[in-house]
Every structure is written in C-alpha cells, then in structure tokens.
Amino acid sequence: MTRAAARAAALAATVAAAAAAAGCGGDADRGGGAPRTLERTTRVEVVQQAGDAPAGFDPQGIYRRESPGVVTIVASGFGGSDQGGLGSGFVLDAGGEIATNAHVVTTGEGRAIRKAGVVFVRFGDGNQVGARVVGFDPFADVALLRVDPAGLTLHPLVLGSLRDVRVGEPVAAIGSPFGEERSLSTGVISATDRDIQSLTGFQTSGALQTDAAINSGNSGGPLLDARGRVLGINSQIRTTSGEGSGVGFAVPVDAVRRSLDQLRARGSVRYAYLGVSTKEVYPQLAEQFDLGTDRGAYVQGVVPGGPADRAGLRAGTDRRTFQEAPWRIGGDIITEVDGRAVHVDSDVSAALLAHDPGDVIRMRIVRDGHVRTVTVTLGTRPLQSP
C-alpha cells in the first residue's frame, strides 16, 4: 500500500497529543494537603464472539459484532526522525495482543528497516494507550503489539481458515482509511494465491486479492468473512494514482498465524532459504526449448554460496527471448519439493514455508531432459533479497 501508513504532518500533532495525554498524573487533594493515592480496581472484560452468523452476508451484523475489536494505531519516532504513521489493527486476545502490518510500525526496508519509538493504540470506546512492539515480520508484513489490558474492554477477533475460501466469496474490511476510524467496506475475494512484495524484496505468497475498498490507513486492519473471522490482514493496494482502485491485497491468515507464533516465542522470525530465482514453465515454452517437462519452476539464477549452490543446482547460461520475455535456457527445472508437486514457480516458496532453517529437503529436478533428485540443506533467509 505504498507503505500504506499516512505520513502526513498532521499525524505528528496527533502523536504529540497522545503522548501528552499518556503522561498525565493522578488526582491530588485541592486543599494543598498530601497527595491522594487512587487505587483503581480494573477488570478486563473480554467480549466473546457471537455464535454462528445468520445465513447470508450481513455487513451490518459483521460491523456491529466485530468493529469493537478493530483499533487505530498511531506511530512515531522512526530511527530518531519525527515521521509519523497511521494504520489499523485488531485485538487478538484478552492479554492485550494486537495484530497489524509491520509497515505500520516500521520505516525503511531490508537491512535498513527500523521500528517506531512510540506507538499508541486507540480503541473504539475512546481509550488510547501506549503499546509495545513485541516484534515484526518483514517477510510477511506482520507485527505483534501488546498493550496493558487493565481497565480496557477487549473484543478479540477470531482467526479463520483459508481452506474453504473461494473466489467470489463476500468479505468485509474494517480499518481507518485516511484516518476515518473503523470504516467498513465490502466486496468479494477477487483472487487467491497472489504474490505481493514484502519489506525485504522477497515475495509474500498466497495473498488474497479483494475489490473491497482499501486505502491508506487501512493497513493492518482485518479482512473478514461472512462469519466475522479474520481471513487476512489488509496490506497493499495496486494503483497508479495513489488512490484505491478495487485491487487490494491481504496477507493470508495462514501466514499471519505463522508470524504471530514466532513473534510470541522469540520476538523475531526465521524463514528457510533456498537461494534461487525461478520463472514458471508453461507448455509453449517447454516445446520451444525442448525442456522435458511442461510444468515446474525454471531456475534462472543461483545465489553464489547459498544452499542451492552448495547442493549443485544450476541456472541457465544461454540467454534467449521467447514471446517477448527474456529467459536463461539450460538450467534446472524444479518439479517437486519434498513430495509436493511444483506447477508454478511460487509453489517452491510455498513448500519451503513448512520447513525451518537447517532442514534437509529432497527436490526432484529436470536437467538436460533427465529427472534426478537433489538433497539440499536449507539456510536462513536474509533480510534483503540478493
């Protein structure tokens, strides 16, 4: 979303006001005597999600039930600068966990990424409290925040599943586009299994595409199904004008779960790394260059010294053009990763998500028309794509 946090100067004032409010002390006796200590007994009231939603798609019902769990996030102090950011998020549990996009609470990309020094979370009932960035995943654009739940009424949203998601399924997005807090937009799932850019140059696989209106400030908010379950975190728009154009993308809930689990455990994430760049094989390409297979991921580059290089994988050296696209012909074609068939090049990265650095995998490849098996010890994905 073009780093879809609003970086306007007006946000600096918002952050400053929030900081001032957070710094206020308790009451004191007006008669000039000794300060009066206030003992506040607070209770966290967790509003459980309602049962099954009524049949059909009910945007009003979804908004009524789930919008109390959607928050606005204000961030500033990025690496010592006075930049400010505005985004969305949602409550995960009674302990005060909040999910959002990494780019809402960071600035920069790759090795230059820096987290915000000050973060506030604003709830629908008017409460605004400071938050701690537990950690962030720049590869999936997910961040985990934590607030002190004392005195707050929290409404956790339920993470859903992608198993039954279909193109055309109705969805709702709730967030703070351009600072208009807890705004609702609706649409459908336009496509699944999209690849979108992360904050590192690597692709985030499996993203959901939607025509529900998503604009700057929606980043970090939930994309919900008809039952109010979270299918993804709204993250990006594709636009040539800077405005929403009905082509928005959400980080898929499966990737969100993986990120949150690692961030809770260690405050950071680790991804398995192969060290290749690939392009999709299709029948006409296979026929043109007699590849020996009409599907798979055609290795176009191998990172020197990386896991694939050490395992002996090869990229093509013969530069050709076919159907107006450049190709390196003569390299290996990956057709299977640990028993999972590779039909398109993104299937390789999707298969690696089931593995950790240090795992040993077996890949089936086609080289010079012959099928062979290669064993690879996976490395750790670097913060910046080579």
Catalytic residue among 141, 254, 332, 345: 141
Question: Are residues 180 and 69 both part of a single domain?
Answer: yes
Is residue 6 a part of any domain in this protein? Answer: yes
Q: Is residue 38 part of a domain?
A: no
Q: What are phi and psi of 145, to 5 degrees?
A: -110, 160
Interatomic CA distance for residues 360 and 370, integer angstroms? 23
Shared domain for 367 and 245, answered yes or no, is: no
Question: Do 265 and 116 lie in a common domain?
Answer: yes
Last residue of a domain, one of 253, 269, 285: 269
- Judge if 282 and 139 occupy the same domain: no
Classify residue 106 by burial, with Cβ atoms within 10 Å: 0-12, 13-18, 19+: buried
Residue 19 lies in a domain: yes
Q: Judge if 254 and 292 occupy the same domain.
A: no
Q: What is the predicted pLDDT for the residue at 56?
A: 86
Both 324 and 199 in one domain: the answer is no
- Please indicate, yes or no, whether residues 328 and 254 belong to a single structural domain of this protein: no
Q: Does 43 fall in a domain?
A: no
Q: Give the H/E segment covering residue 379.
A: strand 379-380
211 and 231 housed in the same domain: yes
* 343 assigned to active site: no
pLDDT of residue 30: 29
Q: Does residue 224 lie within any of the structural domains?
A: yes
Q: Are strands 45-46 and 153-154 parallel, antiparallel or unpaired?
A: parallel
Question: What is the separation of C-alpha 28 from the centre of its chain, rounded to a whole number of angstroms?
Answer: 46
DSSP notation for 27-89: ---TTS-SPPPP------EE-PPPSSPPSS--HHHHHHHHGGGEEEEEEEEETTS--EEEEEE
Last residue in a domain, options 228, 244, 269: 269
279 and 350 inside one domain:
yes
Q: Supply the pTM of this predicted model.
A: 0.84
Among residues 282, 318, 310, 312, the alpha carbon closest in space to that of 297 is found at 282
183 is catalytic: no
Cα 189 from Cα 311, distance rounded (Å) = 40
pLDDT tens digits in sequence order for the chain, 386 residues long: 444 443 333 343 444 433 333 333 333 332 333 333 334 334 455 554 544 444 589 999 999 999 999 999 999 987 666 667 899 999 999 999 999 999 999 999 999 999 999 999 999 999 999 999 999 999 999 999 999 999 999 999 999 999 989 999 999 999 999 999 999 999 999 999 999 999 998 999 899 999 999 998 999 999 999 999 999 999 998 866 656 667 999 999 999 999 999 999 999 999 999 999 999 999 999 999 999 999 999 999 999 999 999 999 999 999 999 999 999 999 999 999 999 999 988 899 999 999 999 999 999 999 999 999 999 999 999 998 88
Does residue 48 sit within a domain? no
User: Which domain does 119 fall in, by range?
Assistant: 1-25+56-269
Catalytic residue among 103, 190, 259, 345: 103
Q: How many domains does the chain have?
A: 2
Q: How many residues does the chain have?
A: 386
Indicate if 219 belongs to the active site: yes
User: Among the three residues 234, 269, 304, which one is the final residue of a domain in this structure?
Assistant: 269
79: closest CA among 113, 111, 110, 119? 113
State the catalytic residue, choosing from 88, 183, 219, 277: 219
Instruction: Check if the beta carbon of residue 224 is closer than 8 Å to that of residue 218.
Output: no
